Amino acid sequence: MSEEAGLLELAVEAARLGGGLLAERAARGAERSVTSKSTPTDLVSEADLASQRAIRELLTERRPDDGFLGEEEDGEEKEGEEEPGRSGLRWIVDPLDGTVNFLFGIPQWSVSVAVSDSQGALAGAVYDPSREELFMARRSGEALLQSPRGTSRLRGRTVDPRGDAEGGGLATAMVATGLAYDARVRAAQAEVLMGLIPRVRDIRRFGSAALDLCWTAAGRFDAYYERAVKPWDVAAGELICRRSGLEILELGATEVLPRGILAARGGIARELHEIVS
């Protein structure tokens, strides 16, 4: 087994471990311990912390020399727990992407696990326990989806629902996005959306950036863009999109809007970038 393949296997195991733990907690009902981080709407629960602890213990046991970057800092109302490693590799983990959805009983949340070197992500996995769907990719391989229906290759949308080859232009595109927690940033994002809505088929906003990227790779969306995302939100999903053949563009920071990411099929990526950047 190559190193990449071994790293992907461990990423998959870690994502499934966190997802299984979260599914059990979801089945038991509402979380009792919930606090906020950057704003009152930016929530973290004991479920987030428990998932991260389990994933980190697994990774430390298997690869003690690797670095670690996780969204949650155990015991603190902060975000981002990082431990440098000695191997040159770093695991980037979102133990529960879509916490608000999880807390409200909305089945759109996931666990994201990626491992990177100095050139970017080597392998990544995003697990959706609600649908039993596992999205995964490694730098030199294909992007794949494992589900109860079997395993399939991810290639983005190539055919529009009406049957048009290449999925049609921007006017027929289904675009996913997300909103920041900061009210001032949200107001600026709303202005961008007002300019975009008349130019596309429709907009979707669900809440898990990792799943939004994976669903774009799977062709459920034509494009996805979002600002204020953190490394743990997108590390695995971005790699999955790249290996599915999508174009990845950076959204540069403006006076009000933080940096962001855009993933789309080639025929619409540049035009969409012009509108939302």
Q: Given this chain, do its domains 3-153 and 170-276 carry the same CATH topology?
A: no
Check pLDDT > 80 for residue 268: yes
Distance CA 37, CA 54 (A): 21
Predicted pLDDT at 271:
97
Say which CATH architecture domain 3-153 belongs to: 2-Layer Sandwich (3.30)
pLDDT (tens digit per residue) in 26-69: 888 765 555 555 555 444 578 889 999 999 999 999 999 999 99
Q: In this structure, what token pair is assigned to residue 136?
A: 């995964």
Number of other residues whose CB lies within 10 A of the CB of residue 150: 7
Q: Where do the domains of the chain lie?
A: 3-153, 170-276
Q: What is the mean pLDDT of the chain?
A: 90
For 67, the 3-state DSSP assignment is strand
Which amino acid makes up residue 213?
L
Among 165, 129, 164, which Cα is nearest to 148's? 129
Beta strands in 139-256 (DSSP E): 144-147, 150-153, 174-177, 202-204, 223-227, 247-251
Question: How large is the average pLDDT for residues 147-154?
Answer: 97
N residues, the chain: 277
* pTM of the predicted model as reported, rounded to 2 decimal places: 0.90
CB neighbour list of residue 162: distance below 8 Å, 6 or more residues apart: 168, 172
For 252, the 3-state DSSP assignment is coil
Share above pLDDT 90 across residues of the chain, in percent, rounded to a whole number: 78
CB neighbour list of residue 60: distance below 8 Å, 6 or more residues apart: 68
Predicted pLDDT at 38:
53
For the domain 170-276, what is the CATH code? 3.40.190.80
